[in-house]
Structure 1
Amino acid sequence: MLLDGNIFRTTRYRGETAANQKGTSIEVWYSGKTRHHGGQITMVATPTGLPIWVSPVEPGRVHDLTAARTHALPALFHAAAHLDLPTLADEGYLNAGIGIHTPHRSPRPWEPALNIRQKTHNWILRWARGPVERGFALLVGRWRALRHTTKSPRALTRIVAAALVCNHFEHGWTTISR
């Protein structure tokens, strides 16, 4: 399984504010990472990159790991513990838990450099995770509504879920066992 998160851009949305760590008021749907308003969607894909599950939308300011802990990680922990099915993820999911394989983070200036085993692990993980980017490309590239929507970010849940179902239909993929 492959795990990744993406922020889908929307128009400016002023309706909800929250307090940040410093206590100042900020817009919930604004993502400092992408510097746009939007919603955070977490996706689980097959090893070939075909998306098989997408989460409900979270505000754009929510970190990948926080959104995954809310929606995806409980099922992925079960798959890792009981089905021996690991999940590959990027550095945004460091310390996610059992069965979530992430790369070794780049060392800080005062830390020792990565050894050859760690570099090889990172290279293999990047190579194996490549198709998950194809999964988001299948959704965003094929369905124009996901490139930039003028609707409220809360509507993204239904739009992405509909795109996922249509994507499964186009590729002849079904979850029904025969």
Structure 2
Amino acid sequence: ARLAYAILDGTLIPIDRRADERPYYSGKHKQHGDVQLLADPAGRLVWTSPALPGAVHDVTAARKIGLIDALTGAGVKTFADKGDHGAGGTIRTPFKRHRHRPWLSRGQRDVNRAHARIRAIGERAVATLKAWKVLTKLRCCPHGATALVQAILVLQLVEDSRYPG
């Protein structure tokens, strides 16, 4: 609740799984683990979700975790990508083009451009998480990866507090 705004993003972490465990597999990205994360306005990692199966969509993951209700209850304006379209509450997503409306208006394009500038800062948090070598190729289930992701979050928060910027 102390944040002026937050940036919500999801990322897939490569987990080496057997082929028979299809519910955990994202066919689009050919990977298994999905992690939702929040970044502050400076691009620092603030919060990470438990690791979820790779086939879970971003908005479904945010609802399942209770993240949308928590952010709305705290009144934190949150910027997210098109994967969270329709989340509601205080979650803001860019405008999407529809098949019956082939072009966005000039104002909508300007809003999307400003939205992308804000969200680009949050991509630093994804890069921070993925910079940890231990996440390059895990050999455990997505639920086992949760402990690693949470440990990385704690270590990163300690490191960020050591060097205020």
TM over 0.5: yes
2:70 to 54, 67, 75: 75
Find the counterpart in structure 2 of residue 35 from structure 1. 30
Q: Which structure is higher in RCO with an 8 Å CA cutoff and minimum separation 6? A: 2
Find the counterpart in structure 2 of residue 170 from structure 1. 159
**TM-score for the superposition, normalised by structure 2:** 0.88
Q: CA RMSD in A?
A: 1.5
Find the counterpart in structure 2 of residue 19 from structure 1. none
Find the counterpart in structure 1 of residue 60 from structure 2. 66
Give CA-to-partner distance per residue, 1:24-60, whole Å, 9 cap, x none.
xxx1111022122x21111011011111111111111
User: Are 2:91 and 1:100 aligned?
Assistant: yes
CA contact (8 A) 2:17 2:140 kept: no
CA contact (8 A) 1:10 1:152 kept: yes
Letter in 2 for 1:48: A
Letter in 1 for 2:117: W
Secondary structure of the structure 2 residue equivalent to 1:172: helix
Segments ≥4 residues shifted beyond 3 Å: 13-16
Secondary structure of the structure 2 residue equivalent to 1:42: strand
Q: Distance in 1 between matches of 2:160 and 2:60?
A: 31
Find the counterpart in structure 1 of residue 15 from structure 2. 10
User: Are 2:123 and 1:156 aligned?
Assistant: no
Which structure 2 residue ranges, 5 or more long, are not aligned? 1-5
User: Are 2:105 and 1:111 aligned?
Assistant: no
2:129 to 139, 156, 170: 139
Map 1:19-30; keep pairs closer than 5 Å: 27-30=22-25
Q: Distance in 1 between matches of 2:20 and 2:154?
A: 30
Q: Percent identical across equivalent pairs?
A: 36
CA contact (8 A) 1:47 1:131 kept: yes
Q: Distance in 2 between matches of 1:29 and 1:13?
A: 10
